A and B are shown apart, each in its own frame.
Chain A
Amino acid sequence: MNKARALSLTAITIAFAVVIGVVVGHQIGIKKGIDQALDPNTTESMALEVAQLIKDNQDLRKKRDALIEKRDKLKNQSTDRRSAVGAVTSDIEEYRVIAGLSQVTGQGVEVIITHELALTQLIDLVNAIRNSGAEAMAINGRRIVASSAFTDGDLKSYYKIEIIGDSRVLADALGRKGGILDQITNGKVEEKQGLVLASVSS
């Protein structure tokens, strides 16, 4: 009787130790994974950095080309003043769009989220939308600009986020597997043509 009891006790100890070993082994693996992700010299980390650099350089090239065009118009102001003033007028229109002072229309995406978000999730979501190349956005009809801030009062159980920009790029960036919607918000993204966003003041 005692022998049987001792045997079952030993078996339980072994099983328990094996389980603990599996947990410890798994934990070591997780730790190693985190270390690798944070190490700037692993292939994965470098691939991430390279991807970001490619995107940044594309943006910078676009910016450079737009600036060259504008500089040339302004440089010729002595011979073609109308064109120079036109360049400034077109800047004013662009600045008003960025400041949210004018109503804007254009292609983009609509994101629908049908559950409540934590404040930090809302902040992260807006950050990811900006990173995806948004030119203008509105959340539940409220135009979002640089100084738009969010508080607990902005947390709702339904969000309709309209974003103007390259619809394909926005849809891919926001809706891809492991992207922001997948990570925290579980929302749906849909490409749209002719979105209309009201100005901040209206």
Chain B
Amino acid sequence: MYIKGEGRLAKKLNLIGTFSTLGIIVTGLMVGILVTAQVRSGRLTSRALNPLSSFAALRDTRVSLSTENELLANTVKSLSDEINVSEKDLKLTEYSSRQKVEQSDQLKASIGLMPASGEGIIVTLADSEGSSITSNAIAHAADMRDLVNLLWSNGATAIAVNDQRIVATTSIDCIVNTVMINNTRTVPPFDIRAVGDRRRLLDAVNNENFLPDIHNRIKNEGLGYKISELKRVDIPAYTSTFIVEHAK
């Protein structure tokens, strides 16, 4: 025989059981998190007496080094300009000098010390504009390295990223949240300009079989990727100079 009160009691007991299970789970979770925090805090214990002072010292050093970096870069630039003027003067003096300077100019052009222009493409790589930014939704230095490699392998004759000419000594590196190219820090969006057969370059950067990781992130994470095909792309010269001390 069914008694009305028994049903209610069973429901009540069930509810108590569910709550106590939930309570156990929550307590277990908390214990786990606390244990982990305890272990990590033990590992991270620092012996620095005043961590703030090292931070402040680093910040000041960064400021003075950045100022010096800017000054040195400007000096190098103005010295290069002076040298170019002197070389032009030398070209006017006699035939042998002119030949030498012309040979030097041709080599300069081939290694990126002269501006370049011609038909080509511009690829703009940018962080996703979406609200939730994950690591896959931002443009990385590695993406630019892969793109530059793809452009070279498809016949590009000159490449620059955010006006930094890619030369034999160029490395593209991530420094915290900026990208360092030719001693210059740069931030997204990244304009990758390439001179070369624009149809061929365009096919390469649009082909999803190349750079599959970038193409996946464009589709799934909203990574910014814009391509322009142009009759004329201007690429600046490498403004710094090369150091050859050991290779003879």
Binding site for B on A (CB under 8 A): 10, 13-26, 28-29, 34, 37-40, 43, 45-50, 52-54, 56-57, 59-64, 66-68, 70-71, 74-75, 77, 81, 84-85, 88-89, 91-92, 94-101, 104-108, 120, 123-124, 127-128, 130-131, 134-136, 145-151, 164-166, 197
Q: Return the chain B residue nearest A23 by Cβ.
A: B32
Residue B241 CB within 8 A of the other chain: yes
Specify which of A19, A38, A39, A166 is in contact with B246 (CB 8 Å cutoff): A166
**Contacts A26-B36, A128-B171: A164 and B246 contacting too (C-beta < 8 A)?**
yes
CA distance A46 to B63 in the complex (A): 11
Total inter-chain residue pairs, C-beta < 8 Å:
248
By the criterion CB–CB under 8 Å, are A88 and B87 in contact? yes
Residue B146 CB within 8 A of the other chain: yes
CA distance A11 to B34 in the complex (A): 19
**Contacts A53-B66, A53-B69, A54-B65: A43 and B54 contacting too (C-beta < 8 A)?**
yes
By the criterion CB–CB under 8 Å, are A57 and B72 in contact? yes
- Cβ–Cβ < 8 Å partners of A71 in chain B: 79, 82-83, 86
CA distance A148 to B48 in the complex (A): 47
**Contacts A49-B175, A67-B79: A17 and B242 contacting too (C-beta < 8 A)?**
no
- Cβ–Cβ < 8 Å partners of B167 in chain A: 98, 146
User: Can you pick out 6 interface pairs between chain A and chain B where the beta carbons lie within 8 Å of each other?
Assistant: A34-B135, A48-B176, A77-B90, A88-B87, A149-B154, A164-B246
Name the distance in Å between B153's Cβ and chain A's nearest Cβ: 3
- Cβ–Cβ < 8 Å partners of A89 in chain B: 100
Specify which of A39, A40, A85 is in contact with B90 (CB 8 Å cutoff): A85
Interface size for B (C-beta < 8 A) is 88
Q: Return the chain B residue nearest A136 by Cβ.
A: B247
- Cβ–Cβ < 8 Å partners of B218 in chain A: none
CA distance A104 to B62 in the complex (A): 38
Specify which of A14, A21, A50 is in contact with B33 (CB 8 Å cutoff): A21
Specify which of B21, B87, B170, B183 is in contact with A146 (CB 8 Å cutoff): B170
- Cβ–Cβ < 8 Å partners of B15 in chain A: none
**Contacts A74-B87, A81-B93, A106-B248: A64 and B29 contacting too (C-beta < 8 A)?**
no
**Contacts A17-B25, A84-B90: A63 and B76 contacting too (C-beta < 8 A)?**
yes
Residue B14 CB within 8 A of the other chain: no
Residue B207 CB within 8 A of the other chain: no
CA distance A38 to B140 in the complex (A): 12
